[in-house]
């Protein structure tokens, strides 16, 4: 890992609260290695025994799941600073259920977190901080997935939209709020058809349930 890498790494949630020299030390404890991948190159294969967390340094990595018949589904997209495969790396006795593929030329760092988790942390005071950060990263991811699940368990497009919009409204503590997605991205997030979603939005507008312009929405009670 070079200096440029470390400049990026130190801004990530996993290493927050650490100084550069602490980070360099930690990377040693973690046997951190960096690797570059070409676009479309596979980074992790399903079935691999996995001991390392991945962190995207630059580029874009897609997390895919393959079913019995070989159909691939994108289940996540990791950008710079994001970790992936952390659920597997932190769980004993499971093999990787996903694959990771570079969506663009990308640089990825791998860290053997289990070393820090399972060996005595007192050997290195920074370990404690790292484990806490890891806990925080996992917990946040949990909350995000929980929220997505509540939307996806709604049956109709309208219900999914209302579930999402009302939670955004609550989060931003206002009936009027901007969302961070365009229509296609919102449809992907809610796992519905974009055009069907678009007409559903219009219908809800006509019925006086919501109003919107571009990415700004308003809930009308």
Binding site for DNA (CB under 7 A): 155-158, 182-184, 191-202, 212, 214-215
Question: What character string, x for contact with its own copies (CB under 8 A) and - otherwise, covers 46-85?
Answer: -------------------x-xxx---x-x----------
CB 160 to DNA: min, Å: 7
β-strand 106-111 against 53-58: which pairing, if any?
antiparallel
**213 lies in the site for its own copies, by CB under 8 A:** no
Kindly tell me which residue out of 90, 112, 158, 212 binds its own copies, with binding defined by CB under 8 A: 90
Kindly tell me which residue out of 37, 88, 126, 217 binds its own copies, with binding defined by CB under 8 A: 88
Please give, one letter per residue, the 3-state secondary structure of 112-148: CHHHHHHCCHHHCHHHHHHHHHHHHHHHHHHHHHHHH
Region of 136 please: left (phi>0), alpha (psi -120 to 50) or beta.
Answer: alpha
Question: Rounded to a whole number, what is the distance in angstroms from the first to the last CA of the chain?
Answer: 53
**141 lies in the site for its own copies, by CB under 8 A:** yes
CB 186 to its own copies: min, Å: 14
Q: How many residues bind its own copies (CB under 8 A)?
A: 55
**134 lies in the site for its own copies, by CB under 8 A:** yes
**166 lies in the site for its own copies, by CB under 8 A:** yes
Q: Give all strands of the β-sheet with 53-58 in edge-to-edge order.
A: 33-37, 106-111, 53-58, 83-84
Write down the H helix ranges in 55-182.
86-89, 113-118, 125-152, 157-171
Q: Name the residue nearer to its own copies (CB basis): 31 or 91.
A: 91
- The listed partner (its own copies, DNA, none) that binds 182, CB under 5 to 8 Å by sort, is DNA
Q: Name the residue nearer to DNA (CB basis): 31 or 191.
A: 191
CA dihedral 200, 204, 205, 210 (to 10 degrees): -120
CB 2 to its own copies: min, Å: 29
**118 lies in the site for its own copies, by CB under 8 A:** yes
Q: Name the residue nearer to DNA (CB basis): 119 or 195.
A: 195
Decide: residue 25, CB within 10 A, 0-12 exposed, 13-18 middle, 19+ buried.
Answer: middle
DSSP letter at 13 equals G
Kindly tell me which residue out of 142, 156, 211, 215 binds its own copies, with binding defined by CB under 8 A: 142
Kindly tell me which residue out of 58, 169, 179, 212 binds its own copies, with binding defined by CB under 8 A: 169
* Nearest residue to 20 (alpha-carbon basis) of 35, 29, 10: 10
């Amino acid at each position: 890992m070079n200096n440029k890498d470390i400049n990026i790494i130190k801004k990530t949630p996993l290493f927050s609260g650490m100084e550069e020299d602490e980070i360099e030390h930690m990377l040693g404890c973690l046997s951190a290695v960096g690797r570059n991948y070409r676009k479309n190159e596979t980074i992790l294969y399903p079935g691999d025994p996995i001991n390392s967390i991945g962190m995207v340094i630059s580029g874009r990595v897609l997390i895919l799941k393959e079913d019995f018949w070989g159909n691939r589904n994108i289940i996540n997209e990791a950008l710079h600073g994001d970790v992936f495969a952390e659920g597997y790396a932190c769980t004993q006795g499971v093999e990787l259920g996903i694959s990771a593929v570079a969506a663009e030329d990308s640089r990825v760092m791998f860290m053997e977190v289990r070393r820090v988790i399972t060996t005595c942390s007192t050997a290195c005071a920074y370990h404690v901080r790292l484990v806490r950060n890891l806990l925080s990263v996992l917990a946040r991811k949990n909350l995000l997935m929980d929220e997505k699940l509540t939307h996806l368990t709604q049956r109709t497009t309208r219900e999914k939209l209302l579930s999402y919009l009302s939670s955004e409204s609550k989060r931003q503590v206002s009936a009027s709020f901007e969302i961070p997605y365009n229509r296609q991205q919102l449809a992907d997030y809610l796992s519905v058809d974009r055009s069907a979603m678009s007409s559903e939005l219009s219908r809800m507008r006509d019925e006086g349930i919501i109003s919107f312009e571009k990415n700004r929405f308003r809930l009308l009670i």
